[in-house]
Amino acid sequence: MSIEWNDDLNTGVKEIDAQHKELFSRFNLLLTSCNEGKGKEEVLRLLIFLGDYVKTHFATEEALQLSHAYPGYQEHKAQHRSFTSEVDRLTKQVSEEGATLSLVILTNKTMVKWLLEHISRSDMDFAEFLAKE
C-alpha cells in the first residue's frame, strides 16, 4: 500500500510541490516499512523529518499566502498549527513510550488524514487562488 503523488496535486509553485513530493515519499517509506514489519524503526525517522519539515514547509506556504493576500490564510495557518501540535504530540509519545505499534498506527492515520484532507483540499484551494491571479 502507498499513497501516490499525482499531478492533480501540483500547486504550480515548484518549491511547494517539491516539498509535498518529499512528504509523500517519506510517508511511503513508513508504509513500506510497516508492510515489512519494520514500522517501529521507521516511525521515529518520519517524526524527526516532520519536526523539521513543518517549520520549513509551513513557513514557505504561509509567506507565499501573505504575499498574495490569500483570503484563506488564517484558516490555513490554523490547520498548520494543528498538524504541528499533532506531530509534537506523537514525538513526545515516542520519546516517552518508544515506537509502539499503537504509535505507528496513529502516525499512519495522522499522515493519511493530512495528505488526503489538507494537501488535496486546502492546498489545492490556495493553488486555484494563485492560478486566478
- The b/e string for 68-80 (b: 16+ C-beta within 10 A; e otherwise) is eebeebeebeebb
| Residue 74 falls inside a structural domain | yes
Per-residue pLDDT of the chain (133 residues; tens, 9 = 90+): 577 888 888 999 999 999 999 999 999 988 898 889 888 888 999 999 999 999 999 999 999 999 999 999 999 999 999 999 999 999 999 989 888 889 999 999 999 889 888 998 999 999 999 998 8
Position of cell 495557518? 77
Total count of residues recorded for the chain = 133
At 62 the pLDDT is 97
At 1 the pLDDT is 58
| Residue 36 falls inside a structural domain | yes
Q: Nearest to residue 80, comparing CAs of 12, 6, 16, 7?
A: 16
What does the angle CA 113 – CA 116 – CA 121 come to, to the nearest 5 degrees?
120
CA 6 to chain centre: 15
CATH of the domain at 26: 1.20.120.50
Number of structural domains the chain divides into: 1
Domain housing 115: 13-132
At 85 the pLDDT is 95
> What predicted TM-score, i.e. pTM, was given to this entire model?
0.89
| Residue 8 falls inside a structural domain | no
DSSP single-letter state for residue 104 = H
